[in-house]
Amino acid sequence: MKITVVPMTDEHIPALARLEALCFADPWSESALHEELDNPCSHFLTALVDNKVVGYLGCHHIADEGFIANIAVSPAMRRQGVARALVSSAIENGSSLSRLTLEVRQSNAAAIALYQSFGFVGEGARPRFYSHPTEDALIYSYYYPKSE
């Protein structure tokens, strides 16, 4: 299976909104995703298999830092390398940054293991950050190597 990661476009948005509804208790709407296309700080990536949307990652770059806002993978495509391809692309696309941060549910052991495999380090928690169900978020950061 070949996973292709491309920048998000208008044509991806209906599928991404459906994916959001499948994956999250408080999904982003089509209009919210459309707004990101016009946001100069947004770097949203779409994962495709056979030209079908199977996942996406939403990132914002502000000054020299990046923040991963969302990662969603189709339930049928989980544990097949989609999230790994997306995170790898986000790290590669942010090579001019000093760090990349994200929040993850404390119970999401698979995601935490994935982030740690890339070198993300835990830096704290946000109590009761998530709802449906209420849960703490763990904060993880990836630090880019300093250029000499």
Catalytic residues: 103, 115
What are residue 73's phi and psi, to 5 degrees? -130, 135
DSSP class per residue in 67-106: EEEEEEE-GGGTTTTHHHHHHHHHHHHTTTSSEEEEEEET
User: Residue 106's closest CA among 69, 73, 142, 135?
Assistant: 135
Helix residue ranges, H only, the chain: 13-23, 30-37, 82-93, 109-117
| Residue whose C-alpha is closest to residue 113's, from 87, 148, 92 | 87
